[in-house]
Amino acid sequence: MAQEAKLMTQVLELLAAGTLLGFVKSKKERRKLFEESDRVWYSMDRKQLYQILGRLKLRGAIEVIKRGDGVEKVQFTNAGRFLSLSHQFKSMKLIPKKKWDRKWRLVLFDIPESIKKTRDALRRKLKHLGFLEFQKSVFVYPYPCRDEINFVINFFDIAESVYYIEAPIIPDTNLKKHFKI
């Protein structure tokens, strides 16, 4: 089962990479994306790959478009895009840098009571990512994570209620001790 879950992850990432290619301007970045996609593509067991594609099609997550020249194109449906984003959200990790730049990353939020479940889910996600709860609606992390936090904010659709700040904190002895830096 773990192998199947890994393969599902790889298939979703390949499809997402194909979508991402349309938005990458840098030739170097496109080349890296192609190379990584090729590496993953050629490492997959074809029988399992087609089984997973079949399941994704049955779930309405992908559609297969046959062109006139016999080439088949696989693309996400709206449900597939949501499935891919959900998967990225669940598997997201923050990787600490080797050297700390002496700035703290603060995520502050004021999310209305009417969407309390979203507020609680945001708290759980920040804790899961390794943030320290500084106050009920203030979380701290020592390493750059703007892109990941933007992804989380957009996933929950709470951009108007959340702030990301990079700043020194004085005193920060307890924070350094907590993060072992």
Closest by CA position to 108, among listed 85, 139, 133, 83: 139
Structure tokens, 181: 């830096």
Residue 1 reports pLDDT greater than 70: no
Tens digit of pLDDT for each residue in 31-45? 888 888 888 888 888
Fold type of domain 2-91: Arc Repressor Mutant, subunit A (1.10.10)
Report the CATH architecture of 104-179.
2-Layer Sandwich (3.30)
> What's the rounded Cα separation, in Å, for the pair 15 and 83?
11
> What's the rounded Cα separation, in Å, for the pair 18 and 33?
9
Give yes or no for a contact between 166 and 103, defined as CB atoms under 8 angstroms apart.
Answer: yes
pTM: 0.79
Residue 137 reports pLDDT greater than 70: yes
Q: Could you give the residue range(s) of every CATH 1.10.10 domain in the chain?
A: 2-91
Average pLDDT estimate for 51-65: 90
Crossing angle of helices 2-21/27-43, nearest 10°? 150
